[in-house]
Amino acid sequence: MTRQKVGLVIFWVGVIWAILWGVIGSISVSSAMNSLTTAELNQTMWALSGPLMMLWGVFGVPLGALVAGIGALLYSGAKGATVWKFGIGVALAVIIGMAVQLLGHFPPLFGIGGTLILLFFIGILWLWAKERMALKGSSTTAADLKLVGYVFMLIGAWFVCGIASQPFLKALEGVTPGSPVHVIVFLVLGWLFLFLGHYKSRCGVSGS
């Protein structure tokens, strides 16, 4: 089996794993959490401290995304060193990110992280504008679609930050949080336009 075929197999294994845990698993978990008390939930296979909940919450979509990324790199012909750097780098970042939870809630980290996200976004816009100046034809449309995606992703991140911090704000103690439905709308739009941008880029390459 060629390296490209191996990459394709690994890609689809990651995709199927992510779909199983991300979609099917989430439907089952959501159904249980919406209809059962904590005590009742802990008597099911989705017990909060049980292995299935851990597998779904930590190793579901994240692991699927990592495996699919490795497969995509192999399929695209990336060098072995690049694949290893990607796999180890992302895995370490996820482990460190999860380990940060052991420190407990640390408000300054939200401020620092939010500021960095905004600065990175501004940097992306600046570099995007410089790159677009050199583009022509359908490539500019692809770039424009990606820009829309970047904007929606930042808006989604902004509202996620607000919702995630709400339980830890003294002024909002006892306040029932509203539905985060607007967040999923912005995130879906962000991913949609990024996908459309890459799809348009691919169409431009195929047509040239």
pLDDT one-digit tens code per residue, 114-127: 999 999 999 999 99
Q: What is the pTM of this model?
A: 0.85
- CA dist 21 and 100 (Å) reads 24
- In this prediction, residue 12 carries a pLDDT of 96
How confident is residue 185, by pLDDT bands cut at 50, 70 and 90? very high
Kindly state the tokens that stand for 113. Answer: 């992280």
Long-range pairs, 195-198, Cβ under 8 A, ≥24: 195/149, 196/145, 196/149, 197/142, 197/143, 197/144, 197/145, 197/146, 197/147, 197/148, 197/149, 198/142, 198/146
